[in-house]
Amino acid sequence: MKIFYNIIIPAILIINIYCENSPAKTNEIIIDEQELLSATNEIEFENFSGYRKNILSAEAVIELGRKAAAEMISSGEKGGNPSRYAFYRFVPDNALLGADLLVLGKKCGIMNIISVRRLLTGYLQQVYAFNEKRADSLAFFILIYNALRRADNIYVKEKYSSAVGKFIPQESIGIDRSYRNWPGNTFVIIPTSLHAGNISVREIASEATAKAAEGGENLAERSEMIKLRKEQAAEET
């Protein structure tokens, strides 16, 4: 089975996320949404289509992401089971981006892109204090970004801290478009940057740009991004 992601997002859409009382605020680290939105295209993921026993519910997978995130917060560096799935944190280095990484181990057992998205959703909820809808929308964009940056070692070296580049094997950067190549070969990058002071929601885009992002494919995800802009506008009034 294949899932087709068709994304068209205006290039000038820039979002910073406000996380009230979140670990990200404490550590002055935020997800770099501008970096995520720099990669937009049509993506087709191949998923396993056969019969499987003991499939976890959506909430159960999200909870696994939350649990691994809590472990990462506690240690400050990593959380989860490296043989299955684990999260790692690498802080930004001045102008170079840092990264929160989701690594799928050789025994991950994940064969559907929706399950990867749910793991990310749980992680984003726990670490950045997003509600589920917002976390899910960001997880959607994170996966598109990583599929487009697959094995792009030159790009990672240019944009990310040296610690990130050294940790990820070149062939494992990002996520493959087929589930067959995920186990032990997937390092999903969540780009992060330093931010002095409070973290706030900002979207630098005109009303016309926001309307241009409405409709078509992936309406729910786009609508959530537009909602962020409206929230920022309300805070400024």
Closest by CA to 39, choosing from 137, 113, 141, 114, is: 141
Residue 82 near residue 103, CB atoms below 8 Å: yes
pLDDT recorded at residue 13: 32
Q: Rounded mean pLDDT of 30-50?
A: 72
Average pLDDT over all residues of the chain? 76
Average pLDDT over residues 11-19: 35
Contacts of 219 by beta carbon, 8 Å cutoff, 6+ apart: none
Report d(CA 164, CA 92) in Å as an integer: 9
pLDDT band at 4 (very low <50, low <70, confident <90, very high): very low
Number of separate domains in the chain: 1
pLDDT at 218: 63
pLDDT digits (tens, 9 = 90+) for 63-118: 999 999 999 999 989 999 999 999 999 988 888 888 899 999 999 999 999 999 99
Determine the pLDDT at residue 55. 80
Confidence of residue 156 (pLDDT cuts 50, 70, 90): very high
Residue 19's domain spans which residues?
2-236
The pLDDT value recorded for residue 212 is 33
pLDDT: is 27 or 60 the higher one?
60
State the pTM of this model: 0.75
Q: Could you write out the three-class secondary structure of 156-179?
A: HHHHECHHHHHHCCHHHEECCCEH
Q: 204 pLDDT exceeds 60?
A: no
With the C-alpha atoms ordered 103, 60, 121, 3, is the resulting torsion angle positive or negative?
A: positive
Contact 12, 209 (CB under 8 A): yes
Q: Give the span between the Cα atoms of 144 and 55, in whole angstroms.
A: 24
